[in-house]
A and B are shown apart, each in its own frame.
Chain A
Amino acid sequence: MSKNLRINSSKYIDQTHRISFIFNGKKYYGYKGDTLASALLANNIHLVGRSFKYHRPRGIMTAGSEEPNAIVQLHKNTSRTEPNVRATEVEIYEGLEASSQNCWPSVNFDIGGINNLFSPFLPAGFYYKTFMWPAGFWEKYEYFIRKSAGLGKSPTEPDPDIYEHKYIHCDVLVIGAGISGIMAAKTSAKNGLKTLLVDEKPYLGGSTIYQNSEYFKINNQTSGSWLEKEINEIKKLKNLDIKTRTSVSAYHGYNFLLARESLTDHFPIEIRKNKTRQRLLKIRAKKVITATGSIERPLIFDNNDRPGILISSAIKKFADLFGVACGEKNILFTNNDSAYETAISLIQKGINVEAIIDNRENVDSKLIYEVEKSNIKIFKGFTVVDTYGYKRINKISIMQLSKDGQKVVGSKKNLSCDCLGISGGWTPSVHLFTQSGGKLKFRDEDLVFIPNEYPSDQLSIGACNGDFFLDEILTNVPKSLQKFLNIKNTDYENIEFISSINKSKRNIWLLPSDKVFGKTKPFIDYQNDSTAKDIKLALREGFKSIEHVKRYTTTGMGTDQGKLGNMHALGIISETAGAKMGELGTTTFRPPYTPLTFGTIVGRNVGEYFDIFRKTPIHDWHIDNKAEFENVGQWKRAWYYPKDNENMHQAIQRESKAARESAGILDASTLGKIDIQGTDASEFLNRVYTNAWSKLAIGKCRYGLMLNEDGMVYDDGVTTRLNENHYIMTTTTGGAANVLGKLEDYLQTEWPELDVYLTSVTDHFATVSVCGPNSKKIVSEVIPDLNLTDENFPHMSFKDAKIGKINCRVMRISFTGEHSYEINIQANYGKSVWEKCMDAGKRFNITPYGTETMHLLRAEKGFIIVGQDTDATMTPIDLQMDWIVSKKKYDFIGKRSLYRSDTIKEDRKQLVGLLTENPNEVLEEGAQIIADINKSPIEMLGHVTSSYYSPNLNKSIALGVVRGGKNMMGQKLIIPMEKKNINVTVADPVFLDKENKRLNA
């Protein structure tokens, strides 16, 4: 295992910079520039992981983001651990620690490997079929199935890294920096367009950059060295921004794209501190040029998944770019000319190529001739029928293909090898194009799906558009760019090139074997262990849609989304079902193209920024006085103020008693406030509230109930007439924004003739509410100039006043049922007014109370809370609030709905009071209400909406909605709980001071 397969220096690898890393607990060395995959291969390690279902040993298959097998866990058991990372994309750094996944106890000896022996019993849909029976047993199976599912382990500690989001606007976005992308970026930037070029790899130039063969030349240089010069030129262009290690993960409508830029993933952990790890780029581009290239297809034959079997172009990349040989006895297996490019590269570097198996018969080309010159045996018209070697391939069997390619003939030959390169032609990477809504067409000549209809201003060029070969790229790309960018000419008009490849391909989706089909394992989706057999089984069982076959067999559903094998799945479905591939279509490609970390998705919105909150101008006082807070909409509201080890219940009982017996103070600044002005303001209020407003005198306040057009209660609050044409409306805390939106909607769309202007002033005022029998004394001290006599300032009225030099508005209104004042003042004076009230109230034991006490006090009075006692199915009549619905008004929002056949039903759920038989028993909010416990099934009549222990009444009180409750006064009902049934009596929802004596006191 300790062999060194580094064959020569490559300019992409810095052999003066040795790096150590840990793989499965053992230390290895690589060089700067290596990926984890190339470093492992240089150490002659192929076995990297175990497959998902059968736990078969699997090795590195590719050299890019399409990798299905070599996925590893980084930095296990640390806060930076990351599962399912492709070894082919990880750049090594000092201290990198990686380990295999989905194996126990180790990748070399994995107990789950026993599943491979049971594989005849684990067909597609095995879990669906088996664990259905007996019914109800799923809960027992689930634990074990969940345990065996999943690949890597997710981190359990908070992510220590920093992530951020960034918006980018550009004229042209070029995705992919291969030869086509470089040509596009240069052309675009040179023509004055602000251009962004991104590529997922750390270097530019794609697969052309390491192309140094005499058979592919541009202007008399190898295509690699020609492209290198182009890259050096574009780096100087001012209009061009280049981002490497940047993977576009999603392409949405209107050319909105998301990309992940990796900034520190290739650095040692110690120097990542305080640096941004990854950036989510939100790109809005006027035009998009997709040059995402293509992925080489595997070939589908028995046991095509052993470690040591790689995609042929990956072997070439490992040799050319990383200077690593994947094996010492290499065999290539192909149906096209691409494998010969690999062979030539290997031969040039002195790496042994044992043989080439070519599906094609009587085929010839310059590349084949070159390989034949090196005395390498080429088996034309042959196929591989089986492979051997458990943890590393050591032998293959080959046989001759029949003329029609449907079966194998002649005798079997065995060839020994330690690496097999497979090449099944090329698949354009159309993922992003289809994500954007693009429609594909099927090209019958070489069996590929290529872009057809563009849904936005975009263009696909090069291999992702089906132009795989150098001659096609150099002929077609400049022309398409010229047209797409609307420019006169490109730098590539009179370019000369040599491209010596033979484009013929002998495509056989599922290669024949000498064995019975059922006895073979031709893998199509390597990561999810789906074989051709599974797909045929799904079709036999009646699945027709490819989307269904995909889900049933899990083909293409791994972290790699089946980038390698999806086309073969489609091919086999089309052959078996006798449908044309073009008509069959593809499965849907969904973002992200490669997996994204959660950190990148959330960016800076973590911790205290996860959900931003609003605080009142008095917030700091609540903090200083140890308030517990409650979230109401985006607001943080003081919930209660525990004193000396009080629990919540004790604090609320104390606060509630103090408010009724002497004085309480509440921060009501969060209530929505809408300033309403205009000559039609009164008429407007008439239309939006259920009650009448025209006769409200200046300086008076009125409670209003707002409905939706369907007649259901939407919001409530007190509105004050400040002047002839000037009102201030208050709304519920949570409803403020929506109420404003709704009112604007009616004003702008239904009643544009009304002269009314709405302004939200919620944040402009702080509201301090002082209540209780001593509230008058306290307020008179804070605002000595204000005449607080009942004659001058009765309940439901308003006065302009001054505290010092500062104007304020004082309303005598009450949500607690106590004598009460609300002081509204410019927000920045809120805290000082609050403190003045606290000082003035000291001798009255003024007690700050929070939302919970407020809720208790209003429940004693039977005041509703919209959203707690109502749920968008309650009309004012259901709430027993008929008094607030004007009979005289011709129309208001929701009026017509109040006498629809459904809303006039007698047995609707109606709001009632509930008293428990045992006055100390407090009901649970949300508990069901029934009448007859013996009825089967038990009939649910309603539920408890509010429930408290009232310290002022010394008993438990509750509000609830009960079907037909209005006519059940005094009737006994039952609240069935887990351990007992609680008896209750239906009561008036107003429990305290029905005559409003306290309000007017």
Chain B
Amino acid sequence: MFIINCPFCGKRDQSEFKAGGEAHIIRPKQPTELSDDEWAEYLFMRKNIKGVQFERWNHVHGCRKWFNIVRDTSNDEIKTVYKMGEDPPKL
């Protein structure tokens, strides 16, 4: 049970949040122009890293805002938290 520092509300218990998978996967602007393989790449392919991972989280039982976190999946250490639309931090 980790503590997440919501960029809008501050430090809250993990139980208030919902994980939303890998961050920085952008929905293609023109899906109709993609081949099956390209679309499948967007739709299905996700990294599953043991180590530092960029993730989307939603403060679902709080401000309902989506944001990004950088988390080490091997020990749950959260390196940093940043808002949607902001550039991923250089590590």
List chain A positions with a Cβ less than 8 A from chain B. Answer: 252-254, 256, 284, 437, 455, 709-710, 741, 744-745, 748-750, 752, 890-891, 895-897, 900-901
Task: Tell me if B32 counts as interface (CB < 8 A to partner A).
Answer: yes
List chain B residues, Cβ under 8 A from A901: 36
**Is B31 in contact with A253, judged by CB distance below 8 angstroms?**
no
Q: How far is the CB of B27 from chain A (nearest CB, A)?
A: 5
Residues A253 and B36 in contact in the complex (CB < 8 Å), given A741-B18, A891-B31: no
Task: Tell me if B58 counts as interface (CB < 8 A to partner A).
Answer: yes
**Partner pick for A749 among B13, B40, B56, CB 8 A cutoff:** B56
Give me 19 A-to-B residue pairs in the complex whose CB atoms sit less than 8 angstroms apart, sorted by A's number: A253-B1, A253-B75, A254-B1, A284-B3, A437-B75, A709-B43, A710-B43, A741-B58, A741-B60, A745-B58, A745-B66, A748-B66, A750-B26, A891-B31, A891-B32, A895-B32, A896-B32, A896-B34, A901-B36
Q: How far is the CB of A294 from chain B (nearest CB, A)?
A: 27
Q: How far is the CB of A583 from chain B (nearest CB, A)?
A: 21
List chain A residues, Cβ under 8 A from B26: 750
List chain B residues, Cβ under 8 A from A254: 1-3, 76
Complex alpha-carbon distance, A63 and B40, angstroms: 62
Complex alpha-carbon distance, A253 and B74, angstroms: 11
> Mask for B27-65, Cβ within 8 A of A = 1, else 0?
100111010100110010000000000001010100011
**Is A749 in contact with B84, judged by CB distance below 8 angstroms?**
yes
Complex alpha-carbon distance, A897 and B42, angstroms: 11
Q: How far is the CB of B68 from chain A (nearest CB, A)?
A: 9
With both beta carbons as reference points, the residue of chain A lying nearest to B74 in the complex is identified as: A437
**Is A744 in contact with B32, judged by CB distance below 8 angstroms?**
no
List chain A residues, Cβ under 8 A from B18: 741
Residue in A748, A891, A895, A900 whose Cβ sees the most chain B Cβ within 10 Å: A748
**Partner pick for B1 among A256, A890, A896, CB 8 A cutoff:** A256
**Is B43 in contact with A897, judged by CB distance below 8 angstroms?**
yes
What is the size, in residues, of chain B's interface with A at 8 Å between Cβ atoms? 26
Q: How far is the CB of B6 from chain A (nearest CB, A)?
A: 14
With both beta carbons as reference points, the residue of chain B lying nearest to A893 in the complex is identified as: B27
Task: Tell me if B20 counts as interface (CB < 8 A to partner A).
Answer: yes
With both beta carbons as reference points, the residue of chain B lying nearest to A455 in the complex is identified as: B75
**Is A890 in contact with B32, judged by CB distance below 8 angstroms?**
yes
**Partner pick for B20 among A455, A709, A745, A897, CB 8 A cutoff:** A745
With both beta carbons as reference points, the residue of chain B lying nearest to A252 in the complex is identified as: B1
Q: How far is the CB of B7 from chain A (nearest CB, A)?
A: 12
**Is B84 in contact with A896, judged by CB distance below 8 angstroms?**
no
> Mask for B1-15, Cβ within 8 A of A = 1, else 0?
111000000000100
**Partner pick for A253 among B30, B34, B76, CB 8 A cutoff:** B76
Residues A900 and B39 in contact in the complex (CB < 8 Å), given A252-B1, A748-B84, A891-B31: yes
Q: How far is the CB of B53 from chain A (nearest CB, A)?
A: 16
Complex alpha-carbon distance, A896 and B39, angstroms: 8
**Is B64 in contact with A744, judged by CB distance below 8 angstroms?**
yes
Complex alpha-carbon distance, A750 and B58, angstroms: 14
Complex alpha-carbon distance, A744 and B66, angstroms: 8
Q: How far is the CB of B67 from chain A (nearest CB, A)?
A: 9
Complex alpha-carbon distance, A741 and B18, angstroms: 10
With both beta carbons as reference points, the residue of chain A lying nearest to B2 in the complex is identified as: A254
Q: How far is the CB of B66 from chain A (nearest CB, A)?
A: 5
List chain B residues, Cβ under 8 A from A455: 75
Q: How far is the CB of A170 from chain B (nearest CB, A)?
A: 15
List chain B residues, Cβ under 8 A from A891: 30-32
With both beta carbons as reference points, the residue of chain B lying nearest to A900 in the complex is identified as: B36
**Is B76 in contact with A748, judged by CB distance below 8 angstroms?**
no
The 10 A-B residue pairs whose C-beta atoms are closest, nearest first, are A896-B31, A256-B1, A748-B66, A254-B2, A750-B27, A253-B76, A896-B39, A254-B3, A749-B84, A900-B36
**Partner pick for A900 among B40, B75, B84, CB 8 A cutoff:** B40
Complex alpha-carbon distance, A709 and B40, angstroms: 10
Q: How far is the CB of B69 from chain A (nearest CB, A)?
A: 14
Complex alpha-carbon distance, A890 and B65, angstroms: 28
Complex alpha-carbon distance, A253 and B3, angstroms: 9
Complex alpha-carbon distance, A625 and B30, angstroms: 55
Residue in A744, A895, A896, A901 whose Cβ sees the most chain B Cβ within 10 Å: A896
List chain B residues, Cβ under 8 A from A752: 84-85
Residues A253 and B40 in contact in the complex (CB < 8 Å), given A455-B75, A895-B31, A896-B31: no
List chain B residues, Cβ under 8 A from A750: 26-27
List chain B residues, Cβ under 8 A from A709: 27, 43
With both beta carbons as reference points, the residue of chain A lying nearest to B18 in the complex is identified as: A741
Complex alpha-carbon distance, A437 and B27, angstroms: 37
Q: How far is the CB of B38 from chain A (nearest CB, A)?
A: 10
Complex alpha-carbon distance, A366 and B48, angstroms: 60
Complex alpha-carbon distance, A891 and B33, angstroms: 11
List chain A residues, Cβ under 8 A from B34: 896
List chain A residues, Cβ under 8 A from B39: 896-897, 900
Supply 11 further A-B pairs (C-beta < 8 A) apart from A254-B2, A744-B66: A253-B75, A254-B76, A256-B2, A741-B18, A741-B58, A741-B60, A745-B66, A748-B66, A749-B84, A896-B39, A897-B43
List chain A residues, Cβ under 8 A from B85: 752
Complex alpha-carbon distance, A777 and B4, angstroms: 57
**Is B2 in contact with A253, judged by CB distance below 8 angstroms?**
yes
With both beta carbons as reference points, the residue of chain B lying nearest to A256 in the complex is identified as: B1
Complex alpha-carbon distance, A750 and B27, angstroms: 7
**Is A749 in contact with B66, judged by CB distance below 8 angstroms?**
yes
List chain A residues, Cβ under 8 A from B31: 891, 895-896
List chain A residues, Cβ under 8 A from B13: 284
With both beta carbons as reference points, the residue of chain B lying nearest to A282 in the complex is identified as: B1
List chain A residues, Cβ under 8 A from B30: 891
List chain B residues, Cβ under 8 A from A890: 32
List chain A residues, Cβ under 8 A from B27: 709, 750
Complex alpha-carbon distance, A355 and B3, angstroms: 57
Complex alpha-carbon distance, A744 and B58, angstroms: 10
Q: How far is the CB of A615 from chain B (nearest CB, A)?
A: 21
Complex alpha-carbon distance, A466 and B34, angstroms: 62
List chain B residues, Cβ under 8 A from A749: 56, 66, 84
Complex alpha-carbon distance, A444 and B8, angstroms: 51
Complex alpha-carbon distance, A748 and B3, angstroms: 23
List chain A residues, Cβ under 8 A from B20: 745
With both beta carbons as reference points, the residue of chain A lying nearest to B42 in the complex is identified as: A709
Q: How far is the CB of B3 from chain A (nearest CB, A)?
A: 5
With both beta carbons as reference points, the residue of chain B lying nearest to A750 in the complex is identified as: B27
Q: How far is the CB of B29 from chain A (nearest CB, A)?
A: 9
With both beta carbons as reference points, the residue of chain B lying nearest to A258 in the complex is identified as: B1
List chain A residues, Cβ under 8 A from B66: 744-745, 748-749
Q: How far is the CB of A833 from chain B (nearest CB, A)?
A: 31
With both beta carbons as reference points, the residue of chain A lying nearest to B44 in the complex is identified as: A710
